[in-house]
Structures are given as structure tokens and as C-alpha cells.
Amino acid sequence: MSAEPITTFESSLEEVGVELVRTSTDQFESTLIPLLSTPAVGAPLPFENVSLPDAVETDPGVEELEAAKTGVTAAGYGIAEYGSVIIQGGPDGEEPASLYADEHVAVVAGSDVLPDMDATFDRLAEDIRSDAGQAIIATGPSATADMGALVKGAHGPVEVTVVLLEDR
């Protein structure tokens, strides 16, 4: 993958108020730990040789979910042009872990950063046809303007951080 989509991804993320943190398989844990505020919840990561530290509860109850400060999940892919990540929820609980905590940390493989919406929908269509039940195109934190001014953090996270596995 050329560096270009990643650079675009980074600047698009910045525009929607999301920090991009670059790391590698080896450095993943040491990169993630300072990003965590506890209590933290999460869903198991699908990347080989990459796992969540013990501090991240992967089987939370309702109370733990609502109290969570950080939620760590993988994101299926990123869209460089928009600064979006695709959250593919399933039985492992990516959906609640990415939705209830104050901050969502989304882990994306470098090779999964797609240039634009066209490329994204080609891939989405393929995934949906092979049974992916859910794909949330998430861009920045949840937000609302319904209370008379723009507020970051409505029903979902207040903050989003993307951790990029550059060697994956």
C-alpha cells in the first residue's frame, strides 16, 4: 500500500477531530496502554499476534459498559478521503464496546485503509454478501446539535482515536 492514502487518512481524521496513532505489531501493546483510561472494555482483535492487554474487559456487563472510559475494537477498514472507520459488529461485542465508552479506540491495519467511497462500497458489498451483518461507517465522535449548540458526544463516544498497524 502506498503511503498516500495513509497521509490523506491522517489529515481527514484530523479534520473530524480524531487522532491517528501509528504503530506496528510489535509495539502495539506499548502504544495502546497509554491511550487507555480505565475502566476499559473491548472486543478481541482479529489481527494475528496482536492482542488486548488484561486491563481491557472483553466480556463486560451492562454496568461495566456504561462506566467504561475507553472501548477498544478493531475496525474493518478506514476511508482515507473521509476519515471514517468501518465498525463491523458481531457476537464478540464490537458494537457495544465501540458505542458506550467515552472514548473509542479503533484499531485498523495499514493495508485496510481504502482511498475513497467507491473502493469502500466495493468492499462493503463483498462483505455484506458474504454475511457481515453490520458495518457502521463511523466518522469522528457521536455528536448532536439538537440541544441548541453543537455538542460532541451524544449517545455514543465523545472522543475517537485510530491506532494504525502500519505493518499489517
Partner 1 sequence: MSVDTRQRKAERIRHLLETEGDSVHKNTQVFNNGRYESTADLEDYEELKDEARAIKEDAIERLPELVKQVTETVEANGGTVYIADDAADANRYVTEVADGRDVVKSKSMTSEEIEVNESLEASGSDVWETDLAEFVLQVADEAPSHIVAPAIHKSREEIAELFNAYFEPEKPLETAQELTQFAREYLGEKFVDAEVGMTGANFVTADTGTLALVTSEGNARKCVQATDTHVAVAGVEKIIPRVEDLQPFVELIGRSGTGQDITSYVSLFTPPGDSPTFDVDDELGSGDEREFHLVLIDNGRMEMREDDQLRETLYCIRCSACANSCANFQHVGGHAFGGETYSGGIATGWEAGVHGADSAAEFNDLCTGCSRCVNQCPVNIDIPWINTVVRDRINRGKDGDLDFLVKGLTPDEEPGGVDLQKRLFGNFDTLAKLGSAFAPLSNWVAQAGPARSLMERTLGVDSRRELPEFERESLVEWFKNRGPQVDPEEARRQVALYPDAYTNYVRTERGKAAIRVLEALDVRVDVPSAGESGRAPLSQGMVATAQSNAEDVYDALAPAVAAGHDVVVVEPSDLAMFHREYERLLPKDNYTVLKNHSYEVLEYVYGLLENGADINALPDGDDMQIAYHSHCQQRTLNLEPYTLAVLEDCGFDVRTSDVECCGMAGSFGYKSEYYELSIDVGETLVDQFTTENTADRTVVASGTSCLEQLDALLTRRPAHPVRLLDT
Binding residues for partner 1 (CB under 8 A): 59-63, 65-66, 82, 84, 89-91, 93-96, 99, 117-118, 120-122, 124-125, 128-129, 132-151, 153-157
**Least Cβ distance, residue 51 to partner 1 (angstroms):** 20
Nearer to partner 1, 38 or 144 (CB): 144
Task: Output the CA–CA distances (angstroms, integers) from residue 61 to 41, 64, 68, 132, 160, in the order listed.
Answer: 10, 5, 11, 24, 22
* Beta-carbon contacts of residue 92 (< 8 Å; ≥ 6 apart): 43, 44, 58
Closer to partner 1 by Cβ: residue 51 or 133: 133
Contact 80, 116 (CB under 8 A): yes
Nearest distance, CB of residue 23 and partner 1, angstroms: 25
Q: Tell me the C-alpha to C-alpha distance, in Å, between residue 6 and each of 123, 147, 163.
A: 18, 35, 12
Nearest one of 156, 141, 162 to 66, comparing CA atoms: 156
CB closer to partner 1, 55 vs 117: 117
Evaluate whether 38 touches 56 at the Cβ level (below 8 Å).
no
- In angstroms, what is the minimal distance from the CB of 82 to partner 1? 5
Q: How far is the CB of 69 from partner 1 (least distance, A)?
A: 15
Task: CB nearer to partner 1: give 118 or 167.
Answer: 118
